[in-house]
């Protein structure tokens, strides 16, 4: 499997709140989904150039944006039995140090996509120890796993995701050690509530490999890994002020690889006999650079060049470009991909090289379930003293594909970072192992666990969640 950048490496602010401060509702009204064709760019996008989320206070967070939303109107949805809330909170408090240890252990053993063997073994052992029924190498994926717990008969099934992969050379620079322990914490806290209060239901924690490229969740969806779940939850860290969570969307993306095949020749003696694959790659790169001027502000094309046996006195007969295209929706990505493909085709034509284009699993944009978002926002504000904003992300995640399959929520939570030390930097890897980042992870974990228990217990809310899902996807 190839290595490629996948997720929260670039933050972008965009105004998308309505007067009530409803995150997803405003997104629905102003930014209709276009996954079945057509549509316009969302109105009035405002982009931030270099907000330093790591050190700004909340009022200086994004001076170009509207005031932060107020969620007090949703207090009533958190009408969960205080005794149940207490069980979740005590459960997480008692797990705090063991989850911290688990996080550091995974951080100390960074593994890239689909190589997460240490994390697979460590996390499955932890879940077994805590009374879950564990399936290793789930659905034939070597580093995927499933941990499940059932209480009583019937009831709803909550899914949770734990990512595990790191980045080549810079370790856990996307903080997936925190994503992993948050998933574990949510599953264990929900189990405690179901068990102690004899609430019928089931919790399934999926260990999902290959998020930084390769589309582990997309593969698990194809294999039926999400079929049993009624709804699904996960979280991800990014540079934002502490106690801040964003419920915006992300960009859809598609990885494209093009290989150019030419003909070697002596570069001095008979260069006219060669077909220069390196030239093809450079022309393709330049074509894409020219294309960028005509791209929409929320579109991205970026990539790298590779080659074998390149030396100056041989005309190179091979070159490979690995690119990623990103846009607001999966339909927009499809259009952008067509334009990028033309850049690649033109380079082959100009140099006389043959070329082969391959596409990897596409990542869909996040379609956050608005009702789940509302419930989570209430708990996060009331029980975690946190703020919830509508930040949009210029990055992508294969959890977007999950949000097209079933009602799902993916809050992005703030951890303290250094200036210029956002996701996919060495500095972020350091930030992802601080005690402060751990505290932030435990807060979002608490909010998600309470959300999970609430939705398992509340038929009316679940009906609303499903209706919201049907309308949007």
Which positions touch Zn ion (CB under 5 A)?
Answer: 7, 174
Report the distance separating Cα 245 and Cα 366, nearest Å. Answer: 15
Choice between 6 and 468, CB closer to Zn ion: 6
Output the smallest distance, CB 92 to Zn ion, in A: 22
Who's near 173: CB < 8 A, 6+ residues apart? 166, 167, 423, 424, 425, 426, 428, 429, 432
Output the smallest distance, CB 198 to Zn ion, in A: 37
Output the smallest distance, CB 186 to Zn ion, in A: 17
Choice between 152 and 168, CB closer to Zn ion: 168
Q: Which residue sits closest to Zn ion, CB atoms considered? A: 174
Output the CA torsion sign for 460, 464, 467, 473: negative
Choice between 33 and 166, CB closer to Zn ion: 166
Output the smallest distance, CB 15 to Zn ion, in A: 25
Output the CA torsion sign for 35, 38, 44, 50: positive
Torsion of CA 423, 426, 430, 436, to 10 degrees: -20
Report the distance separating Cα 409 and Cα 448, nearest Å. Answer: 9
CB 284 within 8 A of CB 321: yes
Choice between 173 and 193, CB closer to Zn ion: 173
Torsion of CA 415, 2, 259, 336, to 10 degrees: -40
Choice between 315 and 395, CB closer to Zn ion: 395
CA atoms within 13 A of residue 453's CA, in its CB half-sphere: 32
Output the smallest distance, CB 5 to Zn ion, in A: 6
Output the smallest distance, CB 179 to Zn ion, in A: 7
Choice between 71 and 393, CB closer to Zn ion: 393
Report the distance separating Cα 274 and Cα 10, nearest Å. Answer: 41
β-strand partners of 359: 256
Choice between 32 and 168, CB closer to Zn ion: 168
Output the smallest distance, CB 343 to Zn ion, in A: 26
Choice between 174 and 190, CB closer to Zn ion: 174
Output the smallest distance, CB 8 to Zn ion, in A: 5
Instruction: Judge residue 249's burial from the number of C-beta atoms within 10 Å of its C-beta, 0-12 exposed, 13-18 middle, 19 or more buried.
Output: buried
Choice between 106 and 455, CB closer to Zn ion: 106
Choice between 174 and 327, CB closer to Zn ion: 174
Output the smallest distance, CB 311 to Zn ion, in A: 35
CB 412 within 8 A of CB 246: yes
CA atoms within 13 A of residue 23's CA, in its CB half-sphere: 30
Choice between 388 and 429, CB closer to Zn ion: 429
Output the smallest distance, CB 174 to Zn ion, in A: 3
Output the smallest distance, CB 467 to Zn ion, in A: 31
Output the smallest distance, CB 324 to Zn ion, in A: 12
Choice between 78 and 177, CB closer to Zn ion: 177
């Amino acid at each position: 499997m190839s290595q490629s950048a996948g997720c929260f490496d670039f933050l972008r602010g965009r105004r998308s709140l309505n007067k009530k401060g409803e995150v997803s509702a405003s997104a629905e009204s102003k930014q209709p989904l276009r996954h079945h064709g057509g549509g316009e760019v969302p109105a009035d996008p405002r982009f931030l150039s270099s907000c330093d989320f790591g050190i700004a206070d909340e009022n200086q967070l994004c001076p170009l944006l509207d005031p932060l939303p107020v969620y007090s109107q949703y207090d009533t949805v958190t009408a969960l039995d205080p005794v149940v809330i207490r069980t979740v909170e005590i459960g997480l408090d008692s797990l705090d140090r063991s989850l911290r240890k688990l996080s550091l252990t995974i951080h100390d053993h960074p593994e890239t996509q689909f190589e997460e063997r240490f994390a697979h073994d460590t996390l499955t052992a932890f879940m077994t120890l805590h009374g879950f029924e564990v399936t290793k190498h789930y659905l034939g994926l070597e580093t995927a796993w499933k941990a499940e717990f059932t209480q009583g008969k019937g009831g709803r099934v909550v899914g949770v995701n734990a990512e595990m992969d790191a980045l080549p050379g810079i370790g856990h620079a996307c903080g997936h050690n925190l994503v992993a322990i948050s998933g574990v914490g949510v599953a264990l806290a929900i189990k405690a509530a179901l068990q102690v209060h004899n609430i019928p239901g089931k919790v399934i924690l999926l260990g999902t490999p290959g998020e930084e490229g390769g589309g582990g969740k997309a593969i698990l969806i194809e294999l039926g890994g999400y079929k049993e779940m009624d709804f699904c939850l996960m979280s991800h860290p990014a540079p934002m002020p502490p106690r801040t969570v964003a419920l915006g969307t992300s960009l859809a993306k598609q990885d494209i690889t093009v290989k150019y095949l030419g003909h070697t020749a002596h570069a001095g003696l008979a260069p006219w006999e060669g077909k220069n694959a390196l030239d093809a790659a450079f022309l393709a790169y330049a074509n894409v650079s020219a294309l960028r001027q005509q791209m929409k502000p929320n579109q991205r094309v970026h990539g790298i060049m590779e080659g074998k046996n390149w030396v100056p006195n041989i005309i190179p007969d091979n070159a490979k470009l690995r690119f990623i295209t990103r846009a607001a929706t999966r339909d927009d990505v499809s259009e952008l991909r067509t334009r990028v493909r033309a850049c690649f085709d033109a380079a082959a034509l100009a140099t006389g090289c043959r070329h082969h284009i391959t596409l990897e699993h596409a990542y869909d944009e996040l379609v956050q379930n608005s009702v789940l978002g509302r419930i989570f926002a209430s708990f996060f504000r009331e029980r975690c003293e946190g703020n919830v904003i509508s930040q949009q992300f210029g990055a992508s995640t294969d959890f977007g594909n999950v949000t097209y399959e079933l009602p799902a929520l993916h809050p992005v939570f703030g951890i303290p970072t250094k200036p210029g030390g956002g996701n996919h930097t060495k500095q972020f890897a350091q930030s992802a192992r601080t005690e402060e980042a751990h505290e932030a992870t435990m807060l979002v974990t608490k909010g998600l666990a309470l959300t999970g228990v609430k939705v398992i217990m509340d038929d009316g809310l679940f009906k609303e969640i499903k209706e919201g899902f049907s309308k949007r996807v």
